[in-house]
Every structure is written in structure tokens, then in C-alpha cells.
Structure 1
Amino acid sequence: MLKKNKETSLKTTKRVKTEDEEEEKDRVKTPSKNKKAKSKPIHLKEDKDTYDAAEDQSSNGNDEHDDDGSEVEMYNESHIKPFGFTIPRPKGSPFPDAISPDTLVFLAELAENNDRDFFHFRSKEWAAARKDFMDFVGLLSTEIHHVDPSIRVEESKKAVYRQNRDLRFSNDKSPYKRNLSASFSQTGRKFLNAGYFLSIKPNNQSLIAAGMWQPDKYRLANMRSSIIRHADLLREALSTDVIKEAFDGKYGVDILDTTDRLKVAPKDIAKDHPEIDLLRFRSFAVEKTFTDEEVVSPEFMDKVMDVVEALVPFVAVINSWV
């Protein structure tokens, strides 16, 4: 009886060994389809606003290792591409009435590394930059309301635009805006009528603007109708002494933004109309740019407000027409 049990045990062991050998041969012959490239970076989990469910599902919960057990390289400083200019750092900065140099540094890096891995890696810097900008916007909103009471005063977070870009109709799939921006108007951030717009962008591209951008056809029709009847009011608002001082001697039609101005006369308007220079505009906006040095230096708020105060009559005329 013992001999019979021993023989049965030997046969079972031999059969298991043979099956194991066959499985090992199959594994050698058939490479794994799930093997990943070792150089592929980890998909870092994003915050609530930028989280991509498709990326999360593709990771299958294995964010730190390849299927073969090897570690994947983590995102670090060596992955960050440098920007090609210097952000000024005045002694004593940051100042309460200016933007922090660190905010410009973050935006400059974001422009060169516009992806979710960078944004996650620099999450602390992003939080600091956003707070710095929102603090400035809060102060600016109050100052603007003092010179233009028609402007709504609200929390900074309601004036500041979100950082994520709308990618639905754009060939540029960069997920984030390269600037920080906010608007101030009678309708708040919706900006249905004329108001003021602030954009902070490094490499001397920051600006304050005022007016109305690409109004709907009804507001645009009202604007053109009013220009035909009272163009002198708009011209006067663009030709004050404070306008000339704020815009280095320029004034009138010469300071209006021409980005979307028509090359010909609008429909049903004669090309030789006496107000044709104004009637060809689709947007009625004026902007003033600032250098990085100005943005991070004391009294930047005052420089912004000098422009805003000069443009209050311009904004008032537009809002009385639309």
C-alpha cells in the first residue's frame, strides 16, 4: 500500500513539473504585450480642475513601476526647460503694490513647460503665484471702483479667470494659459459691456486694457449708430490731456487696438463716410503694456491706475451707447 502511494506521488510530481516547463517555454516564445518603454514618464495625478480620467485609467494603479518591475523615472528639475530671459528682482521685493518676481518666474517656466506634469511638480509655486495675483486684484478692484463707481466690486476669485485653456476649438493643445488675467466691469467677469482687463505675462508683455472686445451684433450696431450721430463724444474721450500723458503723447483713434478692424467699410455704410475711421472698428479697446521691471517694482499699482483713470471717460461713453 505504501509503495503504491509513493508511485502515485512521483507521477503527480512529474506531471506538475512538466506543466511548469511548458508554461515557461510559452513565456519565452511570446513576449508580453503589456511591457512599457522604460523612458516613459509617470502620469501624475492632477487636481480637481485638471484631472484627466483617461490618463488615470491607463495607469491601472501602477504609477511607479513598469510591468517588469523596473522603476520609471520621476519628473524632476532636470525635465524643466529653461526660459531665455531674466526676471528682475528689485531689492526688497516682493512689494504689496506690485507683482512678486516669483510669479513671473512661474509663468515664464510654464510657457516653456506647458503640460500637466510640470504643473503638478510646481503646484506649490502655482499656489503662491495665484495668491499673489489675487491679492493684487483685490486691491486693484477697490481702486478702480473709486474712480469708476459703475464697476462691480467682488471677491478676487470672481474677477480672476481660470488657468485652464478651452481646447475644444484650438489647434494648440497646451492645457494652460501663459498669463494670469482678471476683468472688472458692470457685469463682473462676464464682461458684456465696456470695462477693464488686467493681464500679467512675463517678457514685458503685461498690460492693462479698457473698452469693449468683439461685442455681439446688437451692441456693435448700437456703437456704429452712435458713432454716426455723436462721434465727437468718443473722440473727445480719447483725446484728453491725461490720455496723452498716459500714452506718451498718442491719443484719439491712434490708440485704439486695430487687431480686428475691417479693411473696408461695414455693410450699408459708404466707404467715404466722414466717420469711417471709427466705423471700421469691430472692437473698441485701448491697452497699455508694462515691462517686467515695472510689474515687480514699487508703485506698479499707481501706474496701472494712471491708465485706468485716463480711460474712465472712454468706458463711460461706450457704456452709454450699448
Structure 2
Amino acid sequence: MHLIDLKAFLSELSDNNNRAWFVMNKPRYDILRAEFLLLVAELIQGIQKFDPAVTGCDPKKSLFRINRDVRFAADKSPYKTTFSASILPSGRKKPSEGGGPAYYFQIDAEGRLFFACGEYMPPSDRLFAIRQHILHDPEGFDLVLKNKKLQQQFGALQEEGKLTRPPKGFAADARHIEYIKLKNFMVWTESDLKTMDSKQVIATLLTAFKSALPLVQWLRTG
């Protein structure tokens, strides 16, 4: 994939986020999306070597649309300024729909590669199930938290949107209560694309995703 061309397109789209510009540049978008689809397909092939659960995952179903849902948004810009994909066995694009833990990455207009693993904003029933899983499998959760490769690659679980008090039904002195307060169960980081080509992007993502496998597998058992 031509990452320079993708960054240029996304940067120009960021400055001209309107339908007229997009229609004029639709041929560029179609080429870049086709290339991105091939990158995702190759990535899935790499992931299935250490996580067979994603075998057969359709790359087309992994890609997010570039159109934004602006129905309830203050920002009415019609297009996203990222190319992104979410890879998980169910083929769902959004783990928040109940699809379980995912391997996610995006490339933005600034030339950044953002990548994450786990579950972002799971629905209430799934969130409750994860919290129960922590309560009933504290030793297994400990192994995830203490995994050295996961820590080296991503650091700790993200605490964005963490509750200030224990959720209803969970005791304040419960083991791992600070993690039970989380609303997301994921790790993420980012890299600069300036010195990377598509092969290096895939290699970077595969290394990172493999390091997050203990978290992904633990979440699947909950």
C-alpha cells in the first residue's frame, strides 16, 4: 500500500471535508481503499497463525466506512479522516455491538498508526459479564495484568471513563475493584508512519497483536 498517498488523501480530506471534494476525488479513494483491503487481508492471514479464531474473517467486513454518522453529532463533517479496521471472529465491525474482543488499527491524516486490542465500550450486559469474569477468575486476570510482553508493548489497561465508585452489585473491597470500575477493557498505543512502509506496518501490528493475545483470549472466556 502507498502510505504516502493515503496520508496525502486523508490530509486533503481533513482540509476539504465536504461531499463536493470527496466526489471529485472518489477515484483516489477507491484505489486507496482497495489497497487498504489487501493490507487488512494480509494482516488477517498473519493473525490467524497465532490466533486461529480469526481464520476465515472477511476483510471487507472488518473495514469501517469512511462516512460519519452525524445524526446526533455537533460536528457535521460527513467523512472520517482515518482508514480503520477491526478484526474479530464474529466479523462484526463494532465490539460495542457484542462481538467480543477485537484487533483494531487506524491510520490518520497526521500519519499516525493507532492500534488497540480488547473491548471498547461494550454494551451493558457484556460489561457486566466482564466484571463478573474478573471477580470469578482473579488469578487468570492477574496473569494478563502481569504479562511482560503485553506491558512492554502497550503498558496498562486504559482507564478512560473509569467509574469513581464501584458499579452496582460489586463490593468496594472486592479484589481488582479498580479494574472492575473500568468501562473499557483494552490496551492501545500508536506509532509514527514517517519511516514505515506497508510491510513494516503489518510487522508492527502483528507483533503488537500477538503480545495482546493473553488479554484477547481471557476476554473470550468470560
TM-score for the superposition, normalised by structure 2: 0.90
* Greater relative contact order (Cα < 8 A, sep 6+): 2
1:165 aligns with 2:72: no
Distance 2:171 2:92 in 1: 36
Superposed CA offset, 1:206-237 (max 9, x none): 21211112222222121111211212312312
Provide the residue aligned with 2:48 in structure 1. 145
Equivalent residue of 1:299, what SS?
Answer: helix
Residue identity (%): 27
Distance 1:167 1:297 in 2: 31
- The 1:152/1:165 distance shift into structure 2, 3 A limit, reads farther
Provide the residue aligned with 2:121 in structure 1. 214
Structure 1 counterpart of 2:174, one-letter code: H
Structure 1 counterpart of 2:82, one-letter code: N
What is the aligned counterpart of 1:198 among 94, 105, 109?
105
Bigger Cα displacement from structure 2, 230-239 vs 218-227: 230-239
What is the aligned counterpart of 1:312 among 192, 213, 217?
213
- The 1:207/1:319 distance shift into structure 2, 3 A limit, reads same
User: Contact conserved, 2:14 with 2:109, CA < 8 A, in 1?
Assistant: no
User: Contact conserved, 2:7 with 2:111, CA < 8 A, in 1?
Assistant: no
Larger Cα Rg: Structure 1 or Structure 2?
A: 1
Moved over 6 A (4+): none
1:174 aligns with 2:174: no
Provide the residue aligned with 1:127 in structure 2. 30
Structure 2 counterpart of 1:163, one-letter code: I
Distance 2:196 2:141 in 1: 30
- For these two proteins, the number of residue pairs brought into alignment is 218
Instruction: Indicate the structure with greater strand content.
Output: 2
Structure 2 counterpart of 1:259, one-letter code: E
User: Contact conserved, 1:288 with 1:307, CA < 8 A, in 2?
Assistant: no
User: Contact conserved, 1:152 with 1:187, CA < 8 A, in 2?
Assistant: no
- The 1:202/1:239 distance shift into structure 2, 3 A limit, reads farther
Question: Structure 1, unaligned stretches of length 5 or more?
Answer: 1-95
User: Contact conserved, 2:7 with 2:108, CA < 8 A, in 1?
Assistant: yes
- Give, in angstroms, the shift of residue 103 of structure 1: 0.5
Question: Structure 2, unaligned stretches of length 5 or more?
Answer: none
Provide the residue aligned with 1:278 in structure 2. 179
Q: CA RMSD in A?
A: 1.8
1:245 aligns with 2:189: no
Provide the residue aligned with 1:269 in structure 2. 170
